Structure 1
Amino acid sequence: MLLQIDLQSEVPIYTQLVHNIIEGIARKELLPGEALPSVRSMAADLGINLHTVNKAYNILKQDGFVQVNRKQGAVIHPASFPLADEQYQLRLQEQMRPLIAEAICRGMSSEQFKVISEQIYSQFSIGEEKEDG
């Protein structure tokens, strides 16, 4: 999996790393039971501080996307991922509010926003369709 980290972005590097790994899982590029690179290896490969990688891995662990053990390090959760429960849906709404508000301020219609959302969603669903078909 190719990670895209923008060192000039306003988004913290650990957040970018978390997002990249979750996108890799969604695209089926990272599979359950697959080990992520060690903290040191990932930090060296990306040219970032190992504490940044450690923070990202800890967030992924807290959110249920990875398990961390002494032998294998960080491993994509082998069983199942956390469900989109009510708490997650509330958090999703909070995160989407500013995006939708800005889109409205910029003159984007509800339909345009839906089209963009559906395009992004379908990019991640392609992996599921390949497995089913």
Structure 2
Amino acid sequence: MILKLDMTSNIPIYVQLRNRIVMGIGRGELKRGQGLPTVRQMADDIGVNMMTVNKAYNILKTEGYIEIDRRHGAKVNPALDTSKEFREKVEQELELIIAESALKGIDYKEFMKMCEDIFNNMNGLNTVGNEA
């Protein structure tokens, strides 16, 4: 599993790695129960420090996207999170994205079409919460 990260970006590498894995799960490229590379292997694959990968994996575990077992390593395990806190987080992030979009000239219909297209491309969403 080799992920493309932008080493020149202002976004920290561990955040990019976390985001790429979440997107992979959402798109259905990473399936429930699928093993992820070891921290060492992932670090070697993408050319970063093991601590960077470890930080990303720990965040993914905390957020419920993966589970980590010392004997079997990291596995994809997206957990449903319908908590009030998560919904508030989504609302805050969407509010910023909508404000930026409107300020850059994207109208309501175009914005909603973009959202619909992206949501429809998340093939992995229909398996989240279902047993494999």
TM-score range, shorter chain: 0.7 to 0.9
Q: CA deviation at 1:42?
A: 0.2
Counting only pairs closer than 5 Å after superposition, residues 44-123 of structure 1 correspond to structure 2 as 44-77=44-77, 81-123=79-121
Q: Structure 1: state its 5+ residue gaps.
A: none
Structure 1: which 4+ aligned runs deviate by more than 4 Å?
A: 126-129
* Aligned-residue CA RMSD (Å): 1.9
Deviations 1:27-66 (A, max 9, x none): 2221222111000110010001111100100001001111
Counterparts in 2 of 1:126 and 1:48: CA distance versus 1, 3 Å: closer
Following superposition, the deviation at residue 128 of structure 1 comes to 4.3
Q: TM-score, normalised by structure 2?
A: 0.86
What is aligned with 1:7?
7
One-letter amino acid of the structure 2 residue matched with residue 76 of structure 1: V
Asked if structure 2 preserves the Cα contact closer than 8 Å seen for 1:64 and 1:81, the reply is yes
Q: Work out the percentage of aligned pairs sharing the same amino acid.
A: 36
Larger RCO (CA under 8 A, 6+ residues apart): 2
Answer whether contact 2:35 2:73 (CA < 8 A) is retained.
Answer: yes
- Conservation of the 8 A alpha-carbon contact between 1:63 and 1:82: no
- Give aligned pairs, total: 127
* TM-score between the two structures when normalised by the length of structure 1: 0.85
Q: Is the 8 A contact 2:2 2:46 kept in 1?
A: no
